């Protein structure tokens, strides 16, 4: 056997080894639904731990193990991701209305612990992003206005929508004024003492039976 014939199999072997070494490893592709789920879970954890303002999209992507650019692709931005995380946290069950004592207590306690979140502020305060504001307002109506409107409508109350919006506006105003410290007595009152007064205020939107 000639040297050329002996070298040929060796060259083919070396070539195959180089080809194997140069070949890219198989890429594991995550489907969109899984990536969205990972981003929402990471966002919920970071927003709860650090708050909305101090959490960056890069940190959310790193926690989720996906490209942070996917936040814009799947949600539109950090605010929309926040809204999606809030929806997941709150679940699909329709909430009780603002006249329900347990619901009102739960909301008051939550806002006292966390303050008005970015979606709440985006809904009731002027902002630069119309899209974000519309999404936040839709969420606010769904969680605060609609349940009370449905209650009024079921009871045959006239102007059910207007009365529900009036109650939600009063509640939002109290929360913003309380957390901003604009009114000292309101800001310093214990929630347990404030709750019956707030119930009385919101109850005034419901006509006497």
Tell me, what's the pLDDT at 89?
77
Question: pLDDT by residue (tens digit) across 136-178?
Answer: 888 889 999 999 999 999 999 999 999 999 999 999 999 999 9
Crossing angle (nearest 10°) for helices 160-180 and 146-154: 140
Cβ atoms of 152 and 163 closer than 8 Å: yes
Confidence category of residue 8, pLDDT binned at 50, 70, 90: low
Cβ atoms of 168 and 78 closer than 8 Å: no
% of the chain at pLDDT higher than 90 = 50
Mean pLDDT along residues 16-42: 66
Tell me, what's the pLDDT at 128?
60
201: which 2 tokens? 């205020």
The answer, yes or no, to whether residue 20 has pLDDT greater than 50, is: no
pLDDT top residue among 123 and 63: 63
Question: pLDDT by residue (tens digit) across 71-123?
Answer: 999 999 998 898 888 888 777 788 999 999 999 999 999 888 888 877 788 78
Burial label for 119, CB within 10 Å (0-12, 13-18, 19+), is buried
Lowest mean pLDDT among 51-60, 71-80, 130-139: 130-139
Confidence category of residue 68, pLDDT binned at 50, 70, 90: very high
The answer, yes or no, to whether residue 207 has pLDDT greater than 60, is: yes
% of the chain at pLDDT higher than 70 = 84
**Please, what sign has the CA dihedral across residues 50, 56, 57, 61?**
negative
Chain mean pLDDT for the chain: 83
């Amino acid at each position: 056997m000639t040297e050329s014939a002996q070298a040929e199999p060796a060259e083919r072997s070396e070539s195959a080894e180089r080809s194997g070494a140069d070949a890219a490893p198989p890429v594991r592709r995550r489907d969109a639904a899984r990536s969205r789920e990972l981003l929402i879970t990471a966002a919920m954890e970071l927003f709860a731990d650090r708050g909305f303002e101090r959490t960056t999209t890069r940190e959310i992507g790193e926690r989720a193990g996906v490209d942070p650019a996917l936040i814009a692709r799947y949600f539109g931005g950090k605010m929309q991701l926040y809204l999606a995380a809030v929806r997941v946290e709150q679940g699909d069950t329709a909430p009780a209305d603002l006249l329900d004592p347990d619901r009102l207590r739960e909301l008051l306690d939550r806002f006292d612990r966390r303050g008005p979140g970015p979606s709440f502020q985006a809904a009731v305060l002027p902002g630069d992003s119309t899209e974000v504001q519309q999404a936040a307002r839709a969420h606010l109506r769904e969680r605060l206005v609609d349940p009370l409107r449905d209650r009024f409508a079921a009871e045959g109350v006239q102007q059910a929508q207007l009365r529900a919006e009036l109650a939600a506006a009063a509640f939002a105003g109290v929360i913003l004024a309380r957390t901003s410290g604009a009114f000292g007595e309101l800001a310093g009152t214990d929630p347990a003492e404030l709750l019956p007064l707030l119930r009385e205020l919101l109850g005034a939107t419901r006509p006497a039976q």
